[in-house]
Amino acid sequence: MKTLNDFDFNGKTALIRVDFNVPLDDEQKVTDTTRIEAAKPTIMQVLNQGGSCVLMSHLGRPKNRDQKLSLEHIVSTAEQILGVKVLFVSDCIGEKPLQAVAELPKNSVLLLENLRFYTEEEQGDTSFAQSLAELGDIYVNDAFGTAHRAHASTAIIADYFKGKSCFGTLLASEITNVNRVMLNGESPVTAIIGGAKVSSKITIIERILDAVDHLIIGGGMAFTFIKAQGGSIGTSLVEDDKQELALNILELASAKGVEVHLPIDTVITQEFSNDSETDVAMIHEIPDGWMGLDAGPETRQKFSEVIHQSKTLLFNGPVGVFEMPTFAEGTIALCEAIALATKNGAFSLVGGGDSVAAVKQFNYDDQVSYVSTGGGAMLEMLEGKTLPGIAAVLNA
Ligand code: AMP
C-alpha cells in the first residue's frame, strides 16, 4: 500500500482527492468541519515537504452548475482550519485550472470547483479523468467517504498516474484500522452489531463470522432473532421474512465456533415516545402491546462482560433508540464498556452508520481507538467488498 511517505513532494504538485462534502446552512456557511479537519494531515505533509496541493472534491448533489453548491463557499473555512491561504478556481478542467496550476507558487493550496458540476465525474468518464490528471504530478486519494464510488476522480484517474498514486493519511488509516479488525485482530475479537434492521446488516454479519470470536447482536434487529426462536416480542420491530435467515446465521455462527450473544432483557414501552412509561421485560416475554426499545440491565451487564474480555472490538449500530434519552442508556453503557476495554489495551473501531453518531453524541469518540469517517464506505469494507477508489490506487 503506497502512502505519502513513499514520495518526496518537494517541488511537486500533489493532486489530492479530498472529501469536502460538508453540510452548509441556508447562507452557505459550513456547519460541520470534521471532513476538512480530517484532510489536514495529508495537506500539511505535502506543504511541509515543499510541495503544492491541488484539491478536488464534490459537494452535495448539484444539478448542473448550482452556485449554492460551489466549493467557493468553503474556502474561508478551509483557510481557517488549514492555517494557509486557499486559492480557488471556478472550474475543474480546461484553461482556467491549467493556468492556475502553472502559476501556483510553491507551498500553496488550490481548490478546484465542485467536481459534480460535470456529469462526467459520476459517470467515471475517462477523458474527464485524463483532463483532471493534467493538474498534478502525483495523485493522492484521501477521500474515504467516496472510496466506494467508481467516479472519475476517485477511481479512473489513477490510471494516468502509474507509479505515482498513493493514499492520503486519512484513507490509509481507515484501511489499516479495518484490517486490524477484519484480517489480523488480536483475539478475542468481538463485533457489536446493532441498529434497526437485520436486512441492512446481513452481509456484514455473514462476512464478520470469519473474523470474530464473539458476536453481540442488539438493537431493533435482535427481535427478528428472538421471534425466530419462538419468543414473544410484542410490538417490537421485526422483519418477519428474515426469521429463517436469522436462524441460519445462528447455525452458521455455531458451525464457525462464534459465540453469539443476544439480549437477555429489554426496556419496554407502549408508545414510541421519549415520555412514555417504561418497564423492563425478559426478551422472550414481552407483553402484547409493548415494544422493546433499549437493552435492559442484565443485557448491559452481560454485553459489557464480553466487551471487557475482548482484545479487539468493532462497534456497528446502537443497541437502543439512543436518539431518545429514555432509551439511550443501553448504548451509553456499551460505549462506557468499550472505552474501558480500550483503556485496558483493547483496540476498538467504531464504524458504519449510527454508532458513530452515538459515540460522538455521548462524548466517547476520544476514548475509543478509531472512529471511522465514512458511513457507506466503511459498511462496504466491513462487508468485504473491494472499494473502487482503493483498488485503483493499489493497482496503479
Ligand atoms: P442503523 O442505521 O441500521 O445502524 O440503525 C440505527 C437506528 O436503529 C437508530 O436510529 C436507532 O434508533 C434504531 N434502533 C435501535 N434499537 C432499536 C429498537 N429496539 N427498536 C427500534 N429502533 C431501534
**CATH label of the domain that carries residue 245:** 3.40.50.1260
Residue 197 C-alpha cell reads as: 434492521
107 and 230 belong to one structural domain: no
Residue whose cell numbers read 505535502: 46
Query: How far, in Å, from the CA of 341 to the mean position of ligand 1?
Result: 24
Contacts of residues 341-345 at CB distance under 8 Å and 24 or more positions apart, as own/partner, are 341/307, 341/308, 341/310, 341/313, 342/313, 342/367, 342/368, 342/369, 343/367, 344/308, 345/311
Please give the pLDDT value at position 73: 97
Report if residue 396 sits inside a domain.
no
Report if residue 392 sits inside a domain.
no
If you compute the radius of gyration of the chain from its CA atoms, what whole number of angstroms results?
23
Report if residue 391 sits inside a domain.
no
Domain that holds residue 70: 4-167
Residue whose cell numbers read 457489536: 192
Which of 265, 293, 321, 322 gets mutated to test ligand 1 (max ligand atoms within 8 A of its CB)? 321
Residue 382: how many CB atoms within 10 A of its CB? 26
Please give the pLDDT value at position 376: 86
Please give the pLDDT value at position 375: 81
Quick: pLDDT tens for 87-126: 999 999 999 999 999 999 989 999 999 999 999 999 999 9
Please give the pLDDT value at position 239: 96
Give the C-alpha separation, 249 to 198, whole Å: 11
159 and 198 belong to one structural domain: no
196 and 269 belong to one structural domain: yes
314 and 362 belong to one structural domain: yes
pTM of the predicted structure, to 2 decimals? 0.90
106 and 223 belong to one structural domain: no
162 and 185 belong to one structural domain: no
Report if residue 390 sits inside a domain.
no
156 and 188 belong to one structural domain: no
Report if residue 160 sits inside a domain.
yes
Which of 226, 354, 378, 379 gets mutated to test ligand 1 (max ligand atoms within 8 A of its CB)? 354
* pLDDT mean across residues, the chain: 96
Count of helices and strands (H, E) across the chain: 14, 17
Contact assessment for residue 295 and residue 266, using Cβ atoms and an 8 Å cutoff: yes
Report if residue 13 sits inside a domain.
yes
State how many domains the chain has. 2
**Domain final position from 167, 198, 225:** 167
145 and 192 belong to one structural domain: no
Give, as one character, the DSSP assignment of residue 200: T
295 and 195 belong to one structural domain: yes
Contact assessment for residue 209 and residue 193, using Cβ atoms and an 8 Å cutoff: no
Contact assessment for residue 243 and residue 233, using Cβ atoms and an 8 Å cutoff: no
Contact assessment for residue 101 and residue 132, using Cβ atoms and an 8 Å cutoff: no
155 and 272 belong to one structural domain: no
What residues flank ligand 1, with Cβ below 6 Å? 195-197, 200, 219-220, 237, 292-293, 317-318, 320-321, 323, 353-354
Query: How far, in Å, from the CA of 322 to the mean position of ligand 1?
Result: 8
339 and 299 belong to one structural domain: yes
Query: How far, in Å, from the CA of 220 to the mean position of ligand 1?
Result: 6
Look at ligand 1, atom 12, and give the residue with the nearest C-alpha. Answer: 321
Residues of the chain with pLDDT under 50: none
Q: Which atom number of ligand 1 is nearest to the Cα of residue 219?
A: 16
144 and 230 belong to one structural domain: no
Please give the pLDDT value at position 327: 98
Query: How far, in Å, from the CA of 32 to the mean position of ligand 1?
Result: 24
Report if residue 388 sits inside a domain.
no
Give the C-alpha separation, 63 to 65, whole Å: 6
Quick: pLDDT tens for 34-64: 899 999 999 999 999 999 999 999 999 998 8
Give the C-alpha separation, 340 to 336, whole Å: 6
**Domain final position from 108, 139, 167:** 167
Torsion sign across C-alpha atoms 171, 175, 177, 178: positive
Report if residue 62 sits inside a domain.
yes
The helix-helix angle for 388-395 and 169-182 (nearest 10°) equals 100
**Domain final position from 136, 167, 198:** 167
